[in-house]
Amino acid sequence: MRRLFTPQPQEPATPSATNDELAAFLEASRAANEPADLPTRLQTILSAALRLLGGDEGSVQLLDETGGVLEIAAASGISDELVRSERVPVGHGISGHVAATGQALLLPSAVDVQRFVGFVEKEREIHGAVCVPLRARGRTIGVLNVDIMSPGRRFFADNAALAIQNSKLLGDAERYARELEGLRGASVRLAATLDIEQVGDAALGEALGLASSTSGFLVLAGGVGRSLELARFKGLSKQALRSVIATPGFRTCFDRTDAIIIRQVAEDPVFGPLTDDVGDWPLALIPLRSAEGAAGGLLGVALPRGEDARVVRTLTTFALEAGLALTNAMLYSEILTREEELETIVFSVRLPILLVDDHGRFRAINPAAAETFRISPDFELGQPARGKLPKPIEELLLDENEDVLREITLAVDGTPRAFRARASRVSVGKARGGRVLALDDVTAERELEQRKADFLAVIGHELRTPLTIIKGFSSTLRRRGHEMDDAARSDALERVGVQAERLERLIEDLLYVSRIEASRPPLHIAWDDLVEVGKRVIDEFRRRDLSRPITLRTSVPQIPLQMDKTKVEQIIYHLIDNVVKYSDAGTPV
């Protein structure tokens, strides 16, 4: 850009000059704030500027926004006719140029009027001039002109240069303040949520806002192998972006730690497919890093104002916040996923499960626990558990011991039930996170064990009976069998045989119980006649006890079935045996 003037060498300011400057500034400040009418205040400010800068004539021109022209509101050294008639279009002449560009001008030597469009020749030649924009709330509302009309007279270039420099610094400060406010607001909005979808939207949206852009994209790394995923995009073709991401060179850009500017997108081997969307705009690639410095994402923002280093620095600063916010959101999403998986597992288990935090408040109550203890998760979650559970459960759940395994009996719907209870402490890292209690209903197991004990007690008695009979007849046959007649000897042997068969069945029952406990009872399936099997069992009972009439009634002569004959005989035998034992003597069976 061509410089409009060459700064003059500066000389050290003297105390007198400094006092004059201070007096002029104070006078202008008082004029700006006094209750007088506007023309009077502007005239006072102009007079102070003329004295400070040593000018011969000058004016304050205010912008008429409706007509787009500058009109003189205060003047010195200018004819009244010119004051009334002067209308300078914005962009014309020296003052119109300053109003249009917002940039101050210092012309320390004779003015080359050909440089300014629409310049109106003055009656006298201008040998020096300073023109400064008047700004309010970031807008140009007019200009201040000071002219030197005497040739050879040195202009106070130091003061004018200082005024121009201050004007530029003020503009830079205003812009910097706006950028900081925009960055602060973007960071606040970015941190307002932990939802990964909303954070992704905010990260791209705020980045586009900071760059005054309408086109950009956000790519994140995640999943197995940290694959790249197009998370968000705006103003760009989805198909073109996918083509860009699939390019091998994109991964290299993604893994870089510094910002990249693609100045000629059309000529770039990776980002060329985006040419139709971004045109000749440069493309800024800003990395998003996690707190540990790992590559977590990449922001791509088209720059409609060209390669602006300040915008790139702002985007890079914002990317630090965005990277942290996205990392937190992804961690939060992962925690939610794991909690949902754990909740699904807990709620699908049929065993009662309770979870309390370190303050003894309910954190989880699965349906089985809610039914067992008659509590509602909708009302109790987050509430203290003490006083709402049976005493044994409360002691286990709120106990300070690390792990407890105990068997307890609870009344459920008025029926005693046995539970194996396990309580454990839940830890989150090194912090204590509460306790979990799981109950396993072992009522059926305990009932089975009791029946087994009862069976063994009964079977022990049953074993003694046939053994006693066998031992008795064996002793009789051994001592005086030679003296017994054939009928008595045959009867004794018959009874020994019957009791031996009975003993065999009892032993088979014991073996069968043992096989059932081992979950592998053998079955020998074959075709047989159920009626014939029943007759054999009844004949055996008749030989044992002829005083009980036992009759088998069938509607068919045969019932062929596939069965384990021995097991079926055991079933029929026990049925008849129970009837014989627990009915009055002589009752027909």
Pick from 306, 335, 364: which residue ends a domain?
A: 335
Nearest in space to 408 (alpha carbons), one of 368, 376, 441, 436: 441
* Residue in the structure block whose two tokens are 């021109």: 61
Which tens digit of pLDDT belongs to each residue from 408-448? 888 877 788 888 888 888 765 555 678 888 888 888 888 87
**pLDDT band at 6; cut points 50, 70, 90:** very low
Per-residue pLDDT, 248? 87
Which tens digit of pLDDT belongs to each residue from 237-258? 999 999 999 988 898 888 888 8
Beta bridge partners of residue 227, listed in sequence order: 222
pTM summary value: 0.44
Which tens digit of pLDDT belongs to each residue from 185-232? 767 777 777 787 888 888 888 888 888 889 999 998 865 556 888 888
Q: Are 124 and 149 in contact (CB under 8 A)?
A: yes
Q: Note the maximum CA span of the chain.
A: 174
Rounded distance between C-alpha atoms, residue 393 and residue 337, angstroms: 30
Whether 150 and 270 map to the same domain: the answer is: no
Angle in degrees, CA 490, 495, 500, rounded to 5? 125
Per-residue pLDDT, 119? 66
**pLDDT band at 160; cut points 50, 70, 90:** very low
Handedness of CA 44, 48, 53, 54 (dihedral sign): positive
Per-residue pLDDT, 1? 31
Whether 174 and 127 map to the same domain: the answer is: yes
Within a domain: 503 = no
**And the tokens for 465?**
């009976």
Nearest in space to 195 (alpha carbons), one of 231, 233, 241, 245: 231
Within a domain: 479 = no
Q: What are phi and psi of 539, to 5 degrees?
A: -60, -35
Q: Is 224 exposed, middle or buried (0-12, 13-18, 19+ CB in 10 A)?
A: exposed
Per-residue pLDDT, 107? 75
CATH of the domain at 584: 3.30.565.10
Within a domain: 505 = no
Whether 409 and 558 map to the same domain: the answer is: no
Whether 419 and 545 map to the same domain: the answer is: no
Q: How many structural domains does the chain have?
A: 4
Within a domain: 508 = no
CB atoms within 10 A of CB 531: 15
CATH of the domain at 24: 3.30.450.40
* Residue in the structure block whose two tokens are 């996690």: 290
Per-residue pLDDT, 126? 64
Whether 30 and 132 map to the same domain: the answer is: yes
Nearest in space to 28 (alpha carbons), one of 42, 38, 14, 9: 42
Which tens digit of pLDDT belongs to each residue from 330-362? 788 887 887 777 777 777 778 888 888 888 888
Among the ranges 19-23, 176-180, 226-230, 527-531, which has the highest mean pLDDT value?
A: 527-531
Question: Which domain does 546 fall in, by range?
Answer: 523-589
**And the tokens for 542?**
């008749």
For residue 362, what is the DSSP state? E
What is the residue-averaged pLDDT of the chain?
Answer: 78
**And the tokens for 22?**
């201070």
380 Cβ neighbours under 8 A, 6+ residues apart: 362, 365, 388
Within a domain: 473 = no
Per-residue pLDDT, 168? 57
* Residue in the structure block whose two tokens are 């007198």: 16
Within a domain: 458 = no
Which tens digit of pLDDT belongs to each residue from 515-564? 666 656 667 788 988 888 888 888 877 766 666 778 888 888 899 999 88
Whether 329 and 353 map to the same domain: the answer is: no
Whether 395 and 530 map to the same domain: the answer is: no
CATH of the domain at 394: 3.30.450.20
Within a domain: 576 = yes
**And the tokens for 133?**
């924009």
Show the 3-state SS of 83-139.
HHHCEEECCCHHHHHHHHHCCCEEECCCCCHHHCCCCCCCCCCCCEEEEEEEEECCE
Rounded distance between C-alpha atoms, residue 268 and residue 264, angstroms: 6
Whether 148 and 238 map to the same domain: the answer is: no
- Of 499 and 274, more confident: 274
Which tens digit of pLDDT belongs to each residue from 75-134? 988 888 888 888 889 888 888 888 888 888 877 665 566 677 766 666 556 667 788 888
Per-residue pLDDT, 34? 63
Rounded distance between C-alpha atoms, residue 149 and residue 162, angstroms: 21
Whether 382 and 266 map to the same domain: the answer is: no
Asked if pLDDT for residue 404 goes beyond 50, the answer is yes
Whether 535 and 390 map to the same domain: the answer is: no
Pick from 179, 208, 231: which residue ends a domain?
A: 179
CB atoms within 10 A of CB 541: 19
Nearest in space to 74 (alpha carbons), one of 65, 83, 66, 82: 83
C-alpha distances out from residue 56 to 141, 159, 534, Å: 24, 16, 140
Within a domain: 449 = no
* Residue in the structure block whose two tokens are 């809610």: 370
For residue 361, what is the DSSP state? B
Whether 399 and 537 map to the same domain: the answer is: no
Whether 207 and 298 map to the same domain: the answer is: yes
Pick from 179, 205, 236: which residue ends a domain?
A: 179
Q: Are 353 and 343 in contact (CB under 8 A)?
A: no
